[in-house]
Structure 1
Amino acid sequence: MAETPNLPQQATSHAITLPGSSLFDVVRQKLLDDLGQVQVERRGQERIYRPRAEMLAEVVTADTWIMMLDWLSSTRRSSVNTKRAYADDIRRVWAAYAQELGHERFALGIFTRDHIRAWRIREEAKGTPLTTIARYLRALSSLHVYAAERIDLPRNPVTQDDTPRIESGNSSTSTPVLEVSEIQAVIAQAKNEFDLLVVTLLYALAGRVSEMCAADVTDRLERGRRSYLDVTRKENKERLLPLPITVAELLDAHTEGRTEGALLLDAKAERLDRHDVARMLARMGKKAGVLPERKLTPHVLRASRITHMLDDGVPLAEVQAFADHDNPATTVGYWDRRNKGQRNAAHVDAAEAVFADVVPQFRR
């Protein structure tokens, strides 16, 4: 990412301290590169991007911006996607709220517990999902706790009293799962081979959209008669995943003649991004008639693939390894939700047997 002239240039006493020379500049530039670009506009087929760090610097104070770079450089936030999500939450949610309260820019320590209570109640009244509210609060709290260990700050404005309790395994807040027949219905709505490639690639590898969009042509490997894709998963873990023959053939056609650059290109020959994929899947899901009250998302495909593996009797440990779940409880959660749903359906069917013989006489 090119150097942006309006970003804070010097570290303060509470930020990353490095001895002399240009080492700080190297570290700083790496962090800016990790934050990446944000699509801010679309003019026809042309996309307009801006550096995320630059947009963040416009809505937070200079000291807060530098503290955020320090915070995001921690190994506890090693995933590029996590860094970007946290930066977006502070920029879009908390900087906007700070301005609403009369502050020109967001700064650490400006919110009180009453501010957070009012914000939480309003978000609930708007119908914002509790999982989303909890995520925004986690970002603010994490930044505050990190900074409070380095500088004097008022007490953390985010408390347990305002952090929604998300029930583990709550199916109403979990990512929905499509049945195999519904996946096939979505695939049938592909309008060209590229649509087909994206859907089958995401589903077959239980992939995250960020992994697929970040992959390059050089990440495609051939070993013997098998084709593989070298993907970078969360926490920068490298995984070599075998490709189904059909998907490999679709990739062959899509990358024909190219030896470098992005693996997946859009109609303008630019790297496919997650927004493109989101629009594509929403269109296909709507035409297929699945999830009538929600949009089909890449994570639905991932959740569906993981669930189908469990349906097929694949051991939990194998599913965990394939999906790259750090915590086995995450994989168990898929299994538990699936089995809970099936058990509940069996209980309801058993109840129907009690009155099934009586109902027909009223229908007549």
Structure 2
Amino acid sequence: MQKTTLIGLPTARITTNAELAAAGYLARYNGGTRETYRVSLKILWDWCGNLGVDVLDGMRRPILELFARYLEDERGNSPATVAHHLSIVRGFYSFAEIDGYIDRSPAAHIRMPRVYQDESKTLGLDRMELGSLIQSARASSPSDAALITLMGMLGLRVSEACAVKIEDYQYVERGHRCLRLVGKGGKPATIPLPVPVLRALDAAAGDRTSGPLLLRRKSGEPMNRKAAALAVRRLCKASGITKNVTPHGLRHSFVTACLDAGVPLRDVQIAARHSDPRITARYDRARHNLDRHAAHTVAAFLAGAA
């Protein structure tokens, strides 16, 4: 079977500087991140191929500006998605400059779309909703229960939850049973397992002592991101939850549950493994944006006059 490069070309055919630069850039990353970056670069590759433009030697900033318009107008990508693709492309050209393939990055001054986020809409499930979802998952199957528990009670990312193996949570450190994993950016983490979480994981493992912890209900194959998203949607429906909840929404729910339970912001940042405390602070602001909105104060102030 013929091997392919990270851009989708046979390994034996890496003959251009552009192909080698892309392979070297993507080799910096692992797993899902590498695949995500590969997809963005392939979009650029295909677009340049249709125009007859060389990705390295023929690239100029105006061409990349046209590429951004292609993402917006022809592919119909949202500003956030366009910014995502362009940031990956910009990283590629930065390293192509560092590695000496080009003199200057043509993406250095490309216009990035502004991405706005309404923090009031980023709330996850509340305590009662998350509790109901966990109950529905327990009634569904041990694997479903473990999936929801890992994301909703430990705050794991969906890729991290799907990658958990039975061997990964057999460690005992300072009296705590712990889960060890490698998270986003290749960062290792050790997470203590509360009793309800441990029970859910043991039930999902059953008599097995090794291999993937989470298995799909019908096929028995290892859980992946797509299967996890479908499971979350199905379990939310069974719980009567009408919100559009994604796997990441459960991680979001974990963070807001921590804050609502009175966990200090710094400890929540550590538990969520956020590299920047401002990320965690956004969750804290989002919880009270509507409750503390100035409109309430103004309405009360004008109550006697209006």
- Answer 1 or 2: higher relative contact order, Cα 8 Å, separation at least 6: 2
Residue-by-residue CA offset, 1:328-363 (whole Å, 9 max, x unaligned): 22222222333434322xx3334555788999xxxx
Runs of 5+ unmatched residues, structure 1: 9-52, 360-364
Give yes or no for the alignment of 1:95 onto 2:22.
no
CA contact (8 A) 1:61 1:107 kept: no
Look up the match of 1:252: 202
Aligned equivalents of 1:160, 1:283: Cα separation in 2: 44
Select 1:139's aligned residue among 66, 72, 88.
88
TM-score (norm 2): 0.81
Pick one of 176, 181, 188 that aligns with 1:231: 181
Whole-angstrom distance in 2 between the partners of 1:149 and 1:287: 52
**What number of residue pairs does the alignment pair up?**
299
- Are the equivalent residues in 1 in contact too, given 2:61–2:110 (CA < 8 A)? no
Verify: 1:182 aligned to 2:133, yes or no.
Answer: no
Aligned partner of residue 229 in structure 1, secondary structure: strand
Q: How does 1:1-364 map to 2 (within 5 A)?
A: 5-7=2-4, 53=6, 56-57=8-9, 62-63=15-16, 64-74=18-28, 77=29, 80-91=31-42, 93-102=43-52, 107-125=55-73, 128-153=77-102, 155-166=104-115, 170-171=117-118, 175-190=122-137, 191-221=140-170, 223=172, 226-266=176-216, 267-288=218-239, 290=241, 292=243, 295-344=244-293, 347-353=294-300
- Counterpart CA distance in 1 for 2:136 and 2:204 is 19
Is contact 1:213–1:273 with CA below 8 Å preserved after alignment? yes
Distance 1:209 1:351, change over 3 A: same
Which has the larger displacement, 303-312 or 81-90?
Answer: 81-90
Query: What is the CA–CA distance in structure 2 between the aligned matches of 1:350 and 1:329, rounded to whole Å?
Result: 27
**Cα distance in 1 for residues equivalent to 2:111 and 2:286:** 27
Gaps of 5+ in 2: none
Separation of aligned partners in 2, 1:197 and 1:6: 36
SS in 2 for 1:230: strand
C-alpha separation in 2, matches of 1:171 and 1:205: 25
SS at match of 1:57: coil
Alpha-carbon deviation of 1:134? 0.9
**Whole-Å Cα distance in 2 between the matches of residues 110 and 300 of structure 1?**
42
Deviation string for 1:129-148 (max 9, x for gaps)?
32221110011111111112
Q: Which amino acid aligns with 1:334?
A: Y
> Identical aligned pairs, as a percentage?
26
